[in-house]
Chains A and B, each alone.
Chain A
């Protein structure tokens, strides 16, 4: 008697799909770690830690290549349809976003090294908050991907607004430093670039959430 199961009758195919899923989560974990480290490097003025982040981006690039290859193989060999097709297209796009997040963590690490060559301009308060909220967006976005959790994906999309306003707030504050003392301009610009990179990371996390909504519903909310 035929029954309706949630797993594929083809065990190997099922395994290939879960490997993609696991690798995406692993890539997400690496990017989150990279953000954590580069912000720690900023706060502790630790350039060698920043250098580590730059070096470790190669790991994120490697898993990016691996996920892409796995997805292309599934497309070529399994001709996925319906929910599997939506899963694979989502995985390919999320993978691209995670890879970019890794690049931006490296960008931040480079800025940290430059900042460490001069005395600290100001205590960092909003940037660590922003980094923490951004990491949560990535984590929640991937949890939503793992579990097809629409509610969580929506929360991630909303969280992006908080990051945007933090970024603007940081820029306004830096502007006051620059107006008061032109000697702060170089550092202030670099700090604003750190903030801008975090803001763009959050944008990518939001895109991850958008793709989860597509994966679950087939609806495209990317430009809403």
Chain B
């Protein structure tokens, strides 16, 4: 069931959909007949449409939901772990009548994507993990995102000096924008509930990753200071058949920070050719 509640955007639509009784906000783009691509966002993503998704919508039907408990989606009782969220997204695939989908997950979204692919491996045609949390690398030191202020987090997320400065400015401005600040806090609270302890990973996930059958891409920003590139190596150890792409000069969000380079890699991986 889906009801459009928002006006047609230039390159995407916004609507509410209901998944087994929970209302969530969904951004979609691309031809309805295109192969579905589910993009699972990261914890700090406040719901703005990313230009990179519009690019992917040239070849796919892109679905970009706000996770339950995040952004403009409702809370859902009983979601206490990423594993619970993974089941929610399998229900969502049923709801949008997608027997299978490309699943791209950034950061927290990558963790959900990997977990989902271990539960119903055949629902995932291709899996892309972008600076994904979800596993632990004993030898890689990571900052604790939960002790950092919005301004400090903004500085940790971006590598490019101008983008970092802009993100820090936005984080400062949030103090004067209660609506936006509340949305940020709600995402932080939802993330804390999922990943406070164990810190942003599931110790059992590595025992299930062998179930993934989809071709898998591990994409990482070489200069990620929130989840350092050592984590790309950890994922690669755990998913020996996956390909790894490290994007130079990018921080935690390569699709935002170096979209052209990241999209080239993603398009090649999806078999939809390099950038025209």
Our verdict on whether A and B bind, yes or no, reads no
Binding site for A on B (CB under 8 A): none
Using a CB–CB cutoff of 8 Å, the interface residues on chain A facing chain B are none
